[in-house]
Structure 1
Amino acid sequence: MIRLLFTNRTLASSLLLAITFTLQTSIAMAAPSQTEETSATREIPDCTFTLVDHVTLAAERAGVIREIRVAEGDRIGNDELVARLASEEASAHLRLARLAAESDIAIRLAEKTQSVAFTELQQAEELNKRRQIYTEFELRRLRLTLDKTILEAQQAEHDRELRTLEEAVAAATLRSFEIRSTFAGTVVQVFRRPGEAVQQGEPIARIVNTGRLKVEGFAPVQQISDFHPGQKVSVVSTDVSPAVVLHGQLRFVDVSVQSVTQEVRIWAEVDNSAGLARPGLSATLRIHLDTPAAVHVSEMQASPETRSRK
């Protein structure tokens, strides 16, 4: 009985030792992978979301605002009319230029005149083959008349091209009275009202697009050698609930260092098409070093030329 009890205790101790050894081995094998994952990512705290696409639309010329077609909060498309200056005179000039460009009367008249001159010369030469009716001087005059009609037809074509260009200039002048959006976005400010006079360059409205955002921060100079434009990034913001996680690419690493803080300005561009983040929110930027841009740099550093120089 005592021997059986001793044997059971020995088996239990052996089993406990085997389980402990297995757990320690698993932990030891998992530890390198955790370290490797951490070493492949760098976190930059205290970053800020800012806009990539934002513009303040201005008047291209001086004038009086005839209409404002947007209000704050409106969604507008690319090249959509935002405002228009008074342009009645420019519209009239465009109509005149268009009528002139569409007219082909001078061309048709020149072609008919050329046809008559050619026929007259041809008949004169045929008659002279039978009997000398036209003198050489008269034939030269007929040839000169034909050449003149040919040049007049060419001049009529040239004049029509000039009128077409004048129409294009008039159309461009009329467009300069319009203020149009340069990309799709949201109107966040309207600075003017219909009836107000504006000078060239004065603001009319401000448009932003939050579909893509810039995440800007400062990284310690010791880590800059690991950062390269094109690396994938993840951005986490806990300023809102639930937390926002966005993805994108590192776009910029400054070439200069802040002398006081010994930090370098960097920023990444992230996709915010779902509208989860807003400009002004703070975030943590996580840069994934094991992305193609980092691999490319590592291969360059490990090239035979580099090793030979070492």
Structure 2
Amino acid sequence: MRGRTMGPVLFACTSWCLLAADPVPSELRLPGVVVTLSEQVEVPAREAGVLLSLEVREGETVEAGQLVGQIDDRDARLLAARAEMELSQARQLAANDIKVRFARKSADVSRAELQRALDQVERLPKSVSKTELDRLHLVAERNLLEIEQAEVELQQLQMSVSLKEQDLEVARLKVERRKIVSPITGMVVQWKRRRGEWVEPGTPVVRIIRLNRLRAEGFAPATALPLSAMGREVTLKIELPGQPPLAFSGELTFVSPEVDPVNGQTRFWAEIDNPQLKLRPGQQGQLVIHPQRRLPPESPLDGPDRP
């Protein structure tokens, strides 16, 4: 009975172990891959207004964070200047504690007057009337309350400084939001709006594509390209008529876990370094997947930082 049950268990374990091992060929060549963009963006307007200037031309490269266009920001800059002056005024008022100091001095004087009257009554009981003593008590208590009132007003002025700082930050943000800034390093390939046109928030203004790193996509038999192949070094080979072959290094970054039930193929792509911009989207070539994994960018064996 025990011998009968061990067979299926060993078979299942063997099958599972083979799947878990997921062997990878020493080198795999995949023809017919297509070069595509790894990153592209249509930069939108963030505020409504007239597009005043286009800072770069189509075909020029830009850095991430670079200004590429400008929406009319004159009203926003005026509001920011006003907010800055209001903040300066609020800081001056918050630093002015004259009312607090005057209230404390007044309280000291009123307490001294009351104490002198009490001392005089102690020496000469009928020298100061009860009405006068009540008045002096009232003045002393009023001056104490005036100290509290002055301190509350000073705290409110100090709180207004924080509010004015936030107002200035909002005003400056509105100025910044009228700048059209590239979020990536790449090339400007299309202006979708022209100088002098009105744009609304969310309106695409310029299209920018990343070229220093592209993607090589294709399909391969799932049996030949396991999930464990991700992270391996690759070489993309491109042949052009009348020119020597070109080779570009990169890394296999994605192997789809899904397999087409009809042809048994799976989708993959690799990130390809293109520092000299010789590789172009739309080209086709052969991808060679090497057995070794690519070292991380921070490794000293990896050479210069990748773009």
Same fold flag (TM > 0.5): yes
2:226 aligned counterpart, secondary structure: helix
Alignment of 1:249-288 (within 5 A): 249-288=251-290
Contact 1:226–1:289 under 8 Å retained in 2:
no
Which of residues 57, 73, 80 is equivalent to 1:71?
Answer: 57
Residues 156/117 of structure 1: CA separation in 2 closer, same or farther (3 Å cut): same
Cα distance in structure 1, aligned partners of 2:209 and 2:237: 22
1:122 maps onto 2:108 in alignment: yes
Residue by residue, what CA displacement relative to the aligned partner does 1:252-296 show, whole Å, maximum 9, x if unpaired? 111212343321111111211122311111121122234389xxx
User: Which stretch shows the higher mean deviation, 118-127 or 88-97?
Assistant: 118-127
Give the TM-score, by structure 1 length: 0.75
Which of residues 44, 53, 61 is equivalent to 2:47?
Answer: 61
1:145 alignment partner in structure 2: 146
2:38 aligned counterpart, secondary structure: strand
1:243 alignment partner in structure 2: 245
Cα distance in structure 1, aligned partners of 2:294 and 2:82: 60
The alpha-carbon deviation at position 191 of structure 1 amounts to 2.0
Cα distance in structure 2, aligned partners of 1:226 and 1:168: 49
2:244 aligned counterpart, secondary structure: coil
Amino acid at match of 2:141: R
Alignment of 1:151-166 (within 5 A): 151-166=152-167
Cα distance in structure 2, aligned partners of 1:127 and 1:159: 37
The alpha-carbon deviation at position 53 of structure 1 amounts to 2.7
After the TM superposition, which segments of 4 or more aligned residues of structure 1 sit over 4 Å from their partners? 126-131
Count of residues in correspondence between the two structures: 255
Contact 2:114–2:140 under 8 Å retained in 1:
no
Contact 2:64–2:183 under 8 Å retained in 1:
yes
1:112 maps onto 2:98 in alignment: yes
1:101 alignment partner in structure 2: 87
1:192 alignment partner in structure 2: 193
User: Which stretch shows the higher mean deviation, 223-232 or 196-205?
Assistant: 223-232
1:230 alignment partner in structure 2: 231
2:105 aligned counterpart, secondary structure: helix
User: Which stretch shows the higher mean deviation, 114-123 or 141-150?
Assistant: 114-123
Which of residues 35, 40, 45 is equivalent to 2:31?
Answer: 45
Contact 2:226–2:255 under 8 Å retained in 1:
no
Q: Percent of aligned pairs with the same residue?
A: 27
The alpha-carbon deviation at position 209 of structure 1 amounts to 2.3
The alpha-carbon deviation at position 246 of structure 1 amounts to 1.5
- Give the aligned CA root-mean-square deviation in angstroms: 2.3
Contact 2:25–2:224 under 8 Å retained in 1:
no
Contact 1:239–1:281 under 8 Å retained in 2:
no
Amino acid at match of 1:159: S
Cα distance in structure 2, aligned partners of 1:286 and 1:125: 94
Which of residues 78, 84, 90 is equivalent to 1:92?
Answer: 78
1:221 alignment partner in structure 2: 222
1:210 aligned counterpart, secondary structure: coil
Runs of 5+ consecutive residues of structure 1 not aligned to the other structure = 1-37, 294-310
Residues 40/226 of structure 1: CA separation in 2 closer, same or farther (3 Å cut): farther
User: Which stretch shows the higher mean deviation, 173-182 or 127-136?
Assistant: 127-136
Contact 1:227–1:289 under 8 Å retained in 2:
no
The alpha-carbon deviation at position 216 of structure 1 amounts to 0.9
1:79 aligned counterpart, secondary structure: coil
1:206 maps onto 2:207 in alignment: yes
1:4 alignment partner in structure 2: none
